[in-house]
Structure formats: C-alpha cells, structure tokens
Amino acid sequence: MKLRSLLAAALAATSLAMVPGLASAQAPAYKPEYRMSLVLGTAFPWGKSGEIWANLVRERTQGRINIKLYPGVSLLQGDQTREFSGLRQGVIDLAVGSTINWSPQVRQLNLFSMPFLMPDFAAIDALTQGEVGQQLFKDIERAGAVPLAWGENGYREISNSKHAIKTPADLKGLKIRVVGSPLFLDTFTALGANPTQMSWADAQPALASKAVDGQENPLSIFTAAKLHSVEQKHLTLWGYVADPLIFVVNKDVWASWTEADRKIVRDAAIEAGAQGKALARKGLVEPGKPLIKQISDLGVTVTELTPEQRAEFVKATRPVYEKWKKQIGADLVGKAEKAIAARKP
Ligand code: X2X
C-alpha cells in the first residue's frame, strides 16, 4: 500500500512535469555561479570584452546570473584548442573565444585564417555582420553551442627576434610559434618557415628563452603582453589573417534560463562585442595609427610592406588558400569572397 502510494506520487510528479505549461512555469534551476572561459585576461581587449559582458548581465539580472571569469582557459589547464569541447561538455558555461581556437571542432571557422582573405577591417565586418556570419552561427549551433555575438582579437602581425621580414625569403628557417591549428602549419610551411604549435601559455616562456624565434598575434596583445621584452624586436605589418571572437553559451545553461534573461544575456553580448571590437582596433583606426608609433618607441623595428612586397606573400600562400578553400567549403569561401568584394569602406 505504501509502495503503491509512493509510485502514484512519483507518477503524478512525472506527468505534471511533462505538461509543457506547468514545466516552464517552474523556476528554472539557476547556478549560483557561471564559469566564463577566456584565453586572455582583462589587461587585453579580449578579457575586457568578457568582463563587460559579465558585468552587464549581473547588473541587468539583479545578480540572478552571476558570471566568474576564467582567463588562461584555466578550466582546461590552458588547452585552448579544446575550449569548444569543454563548452559543449559543460565544463565551461560561457566563453568568449577565438575562431582559431575553435576551428578544430568547427571546421568552417578556419575561414578567417585563410591567408590574405580579408584586406582590411571593413572586410572582417562584411563577413561577421553579414550572411556569412549568420551561416557560421548556424554551424556553431549544429556543433552544439549557442552563439550570440561577434567580437574581435585582431589582425595577426608577425614578430621575431632575428631580423626584419620583408619577403617570404626572410621567413626561411625561422622557428615560428603558431596556435595548434593545421591551417597555420600549412601557411608557415609554404612560406619556408619552421612552424611550431603551442598554447599561448607556453609561447611566452618559449619566446623568452629563444626556443622559438617568432610569433604572430594582434598588436594589442604585443603591447599588453610586452612581447618586446621577450626578444621580439622586429615586427612586420602584413595583415595576413584576423581572428574574430565569438560570445557563446552552453546549450543546457541557455535552456535553463527564462526567455527574459536570455534576451538580457544576448543584448549584453552584442554590446560587449561592439565595445571589445573598438578596444581591439584602438590606435589602428585613428589617423597616423598611434599604436604603431607606440610600439616603435619601445625599440621595435616596425616594417610596413609595400603593395608589391605584400603581393609576394599572397602568391607564396595561394596554394594553401586553394587547398583550404575546398576543406572549409568552396561555397562558404565563395560567399565570403563576394561579401568582401562588395564591402563598404
Ligand atoms: O594563442 C594565441 O595566439 C591567441 C591568444 O591569440 C589565441 O588564443 C588565438
């Protein structure tokens, strides 16, 4: 008798939960704290983007959604190319991540690492803010996360400790640290360099000890991480690739929030993305590009390529572009090329 009434109660509870109206009327289970993964902390535009997002969400939800920042991909011991997997598996609740680091799981994100696809900031915007960006968000969703907004890491300029790079021949034999993504190995191999994959955490000591000669990263990272103090005395502005950042939430976490809270989180991500992008471009979009002068004042030789010099790098990496166009999807890359050709300055 006792068992029967227990069973009846259990059954009643299950069937109540299965009535859609009733189930959604129940307060969703919010966590006391949500974990946001980032590669870089708040000294960088990347970490700032995450901080702005977290603060806006905390304020506007009156603390219902309380987000803590975990820079250095510390939830995964710094393993940045597994960040997307960690997000999918729920080790990470939210992230602001680079297209490069997530490209092992979401093949289409390699698009932004195609050498010399995007000639200027307007070209990045033409992709992220247009149809290509929407299509990539669908790919991310299919891969198992909820994408909300775009931000920016920036144009990845190349530095090294040996000599100025003006032609592909100057890269010959240089040991260059790259992120663990196969397209980067192909690009640097085509240029005659000796690429070595390692995480950002390992890159800085490797540069300091001269275990590697050079690296490629946005200028905002060059200054904030003080790369001139780890032997990086030569910097070439070649604008070969740029990595946007993407604001995402784990699927189950997203499903656990009310419609109103989801809107707050999405709107805040869009605002933080726009603010972060402005920070990432600071000093590079104003007349005279003051950030470049700031870097040369640190004793760094800054090389700006002539259009003819740049064309040599484009030519040398063209086979890589053609190979990866097929791997990423000729359709998507074709759409990107068209959007860039039609961009407004
Ligand atoms: O590791 C890098 O070079 C960095 C910090 O730019 C990324 O995470 C893509």
pLDDT digits (tens, 9 = 90+) for 92-107: 999 999 999 999 999 9
H helices within the chain, ranges in order? 2-18, 20-25, 45-60, 83-89, 99-102, 121-128, 131-142, 182-190, 200-208, 219-224, 251-256, 259-281, 290-296, 307-328, 330-341
Asked if the model's pLDDT at residue 72 lies above 70, the reply is yes
Ligand 1 centroid distance, CA of 316 (Å): 24
Which pLDDT value is given to residue 25?
52
**Mean predicted confidence (pLDDT) in 270-299:** 97
Which pLDDT value is given to residue 6?
45
Residue 345 — very low, low, confident or very high, per pLDDT cuts 50/70/90?
confident
Q: What pLDDT, in 10s, does the model give residues 165-211?
A: 999 999 999 999 999 899 999 999 999 999 999 999 999 999 999 99
Ligand 1 centroid distance, CA of 171 (Å): 20
How far apart are the two ends of the chain, measured CA to CA in Å?
77
Which pLDDT value is given to residue 144?
96
Burial 301-334 (b: 16+ CB within 10 A, else e): ebbebeeebbebbeebbeebbeebbeebbeebbe
Average pLDDT, the chain: 93
Q: What pLDDT, in 10s, does the model give residues 207-251?
A: 999 999 999 999 999 999 999 999 999 999 999 999 999 999 999
**Mean predicted confidence (pLDDT) in 115-120:** 98
Which pLDDT value is given to residue 170?
98
SS3 state of residue 187: helix
Which pLDDT value is given to residue 23?
47
Ligand 1 pocket, residues with Cβ under 6 angstroms: 39-40, 80, 98, 100-101, 153, 179, 200, 217, 243
- Determine the atom of ligand 1 nearest the C-alpha atom of 153: 6
Which residue has its alpha carbon closest to ligand 1 atom 8? 39
All domains of the chain in start order, with CATH: 31-153+244-281 (3.40.190.170), 157-241+287-341 (3.40.190.170)
Ligand 1 centroid distance, CA of 52 (Å): 20
